[in-house]
Amino acid sequence: MKQAWDKESLCQFAKAKLSDYLFIVVSNREPYIHSYQGNEIKCEAAVGGVTTALEPVISAIGGIWVAHGSGDADRATVDSQNKLMVPPEEPRYALKRVWLTEEEVNNYYYGFSNQALWPLCHAVDVKPVFDESQWDAYKKVNEVFAQSVLEEVRDRKALVFIQDYHLALLPGLIKRANPETTVAQFWHIPWPRQKAFQICPWREEILNGLLGNDLLGFHTVRHCRNFLTTVNRTIAESKVNYEKAEVTIEGKKTEIRPFPISVDFEQLSKEAQSVEVKEEIERLRKELNLSDKFVGVSIDRLDYIKGIPRRLMAIGHFFEKCPEYKGKTTFIQVTVPSRTEIPSYRKLRENIDALAEEINLRHGFGDWKPVITMVGPVPTTTLVALWSMTKLCIVSSLHDGMNLVAKEFVASRYDNDGILLLSRFAGAAKELDDALLINPYAIDQLAASIEEALEMPRIERYKRMRRKRSIVRENNIYKWAADIILELVKLV
């Protein structure tokens, strides 16, 4: 078996390749957030793919992570340059905070980023809102980030690695001010088809911002191609080379590459075998009154791209079509609320609650509920317990850049059992084609796939899960970071 990348090998590799450079990571969200709890200050670490992959790198070589300081005690914990050393238990790199007013956050984050760019990049029911003052705030905030980065770079050899769609103008701003700096960005959401992107009134500014990058990464080849076509048809002076996947404007080149993000496979697989997870499974079975019932699980950030209402409708159809499963199968839907300031997100929550209630009223009896909903952030032990105890995990996004839940579920199943129902429209479907691939819009077909999953012979389940596990084991989160570094060092 090929040796997979791990934290240790990634750190060694980063040290060997990047030590001569000032390494700067930029993201909207900070890796550590400080908040008051009474008179005490509490520090919380952000969990997620990006911190898992980039914190070992930046800790190994040192550097600066620039992010929006959003905690109420963030200002109280930085020095006069808005910096503090982190991780708190073993300080290795500087977190530099950028300050934004409440109005800027409303217009740049909840506004342009999440009501214009987010729906623009996802082919879903919600359409983008293009508001001039939100766009102005987006430009201003990108400039604030640029200034913070440029203060650090000055005349040093620097590599700047930007995260996501909140900062589309930042690469252009850095490159124009300091052409010697190497700039890369990873776009965590899909890039839409050219025709869909054309409705954006500021499409040229956004593309020119992104073309400030030397390297621009997406999850899939399809997103890369969509981006190349969008540039080709929008920016008259661009030269697009599809074969090499690069764009040139006035001699400045941007490479476009797929880097499918992933999870810490070994860590999740190990955690799934822990005593804590076994105890958590027992607790959940007792508390949720599951005894030996088949369990289906879905875990999502509460977002309209995740296709939760249609999934619940399919579960309702499934019980109508297969009444023999009544009393024997329970679906657990875990959602963590997000962007609750945006009306479409609030409405979604109400819609989900009403659908779950309706299914329970229609099909439930005695103390058996067909659907159990859990709302709020849940500890990893509970998530891993849910993935470990379930017969099937349903990921039915209408459109999703990657979807980490699909890979987390696979990583948790060290027993090689369990079935993944995975939307064809999630980036993860490209790698995990041994899942039962579904069309999340076809509610009857999704109901039929649930039945197929529950009836699937054990040997077939094992075969499919083993293949998926070998893919996620190899293409893990450390490989994601190593592949980006490898590409970056070719450019410097």
Task: List the one residue out of 182, 242, 257, 178 whose CA is nearest residue 214.
Answer: 182
Cβ–Cβ contacts within 10 Å for residue 381, how many? 17
Shortest distance in whole angstroms from residue 268 CB to ligand ADQ: 10
Task: List the one residue out of 294, 274, 306 whose CA is nearest residue 418.
Answer: 294
Shortest distance in whole angstroms from residue 321 CB to ligand ADQ: 28
CA angle 57, 58, 64 (to 5 degrees): 160
Task: List the one residue out of 350, 343, 357, 412 whose CA is nearest residue 384.
Answer: 412
Shortest distance in whole angstroms from residue 199 CB to ligand ADQ: 21
Shortest distance in whole angstroms from residue 431 CB to ligand ADQ: 12
Handedness of CA 91, 96, 102, 105 (dihedral sign): negative
Q: Report the residue number, 188 or 317, with the smaller CB distance to ligand ADQ.
A: 188
Q: Report the residue number, 22 or 184, with the smaller CB distance to ligand ADQ.
A: 184
- Phi first, then psi: what are they for 178, rounded to 5°? -145, 80
Strand segments (E) across 242-303? 246-249, 252-258, 294-301
Q: Report the residue number, 49 or 418, with the smaller CB distance to ligand ADQ.
A: 49
Shortest distance in whole angstroms from residue 206 CB to ligand ADQ: 18
DSSP state of 293: -
Q: Report the residue number, 225 or 399, with the smaller CB distance to ligand ADQ.
A: 399
Q: Which residues bind ligand ADQ (CB under 6 A)?
A: 48-49, 188-189, 261, 299-301, 334, 336, 377-378, 383, 400-405, 408
Q: Report the residue number, 98 or 406, with the smaller CB distance to ligand ADQ.
A: 406
Q: Report the residue number, 24 or 263, with the smaller CB distance to ligand ADQ.
A: 263
Q: Report the residue number, 66 or 189, with the smaller CB distance to ligand ADQ.
A: 189
Cβ–Cβ contacts within 10 Å for residue 139, how many? 16
Q: Report the residue number, 49 or 171, with the smaller CB distance to ligand ADQ.
A: 49
- Phi first, then psi: what are they for 472, rounded to 5°? -70, -35
The CA dihedral of 209, 215, 216, 218, to the nearest 10 degrees, is: 180
**Could you tell me if 80 and 41 are in contact, meaning their C-beta atoms sit under 8 angstroms apart?**
no
In three-state secondary structure terms, 92 is coil
Cβ–Cβ contacts within 10 Å for residue 90, how many? 8
Taking CA atoms, 151 is separated from 66, 69, 174, 176, in Å, by: 11, 17, 11, 14
Shortest distance in whole angstroms from residue 47 CB to ligand ADQ: 7
Q: Report the residue number, 66 or 406, with the smaller CB distance to ligand ADQ.
A: 406
Shortest distance in whole angstroms from residue 325 CB to ligand ADQ: 26
Shortest distance in whole angstroms from residue 386 CB to ligand ADQ: 10
CA angle 141, 336, 330 (to 5 degrees): 160
From CA 471, how far away is CA 484, in angstroms rounded?
A: 18
DSSP state of 5: P
Shortest distance in whole angstroms from residue 123 CB to ligand ADQ: 13
Shortest distance in whole angstroms from residue 355 CB to ligand ADQ: 18
Shortest distance in whole angstroms from residue 443 CB to ligand ADQ: 21
The CA dihedral of 203, 209, 214, 217, to the nearest 10 degrees, is: -50
Shortest distance in whole angstroms from residue 338 CB to ligand ADQ: 7
From CA 261, how far away is CA 437, in angstroms rounded?
A: 19
Q: Report the residue number, 146 or 261, with the smaller CB distance to ligand ADQ.
A: 261
Give every CB contact of residue 311 below 8 A, 6+ residues apart in sequence: 298, 333, 394, 396, 440, 446
Give every CB contact of residue 283 below 8 A, 6+ residues apart in sequence: none
**Could you tell me if 288 and 329 are in contact, meaning their C-beta atoms sit under 8 angstroms apart?**
no
Shortest distance in whole angstroms from residue 261 CB to ligand ADQ: 4
Handedness of CA 371, 339, 52, 280 (dihedral sign): negative
Q: Report the residue number, 51 or 148, with the smaller CB distance to ligand ADQ.
A: 51
Q: Report the residue number, 50 or 84, with the smaller CB distance to ligand ADQ.
A: 50
Q: Report the residue number, 182 or 373, with the smaller CB distance to ligand ADQ.
A: 373
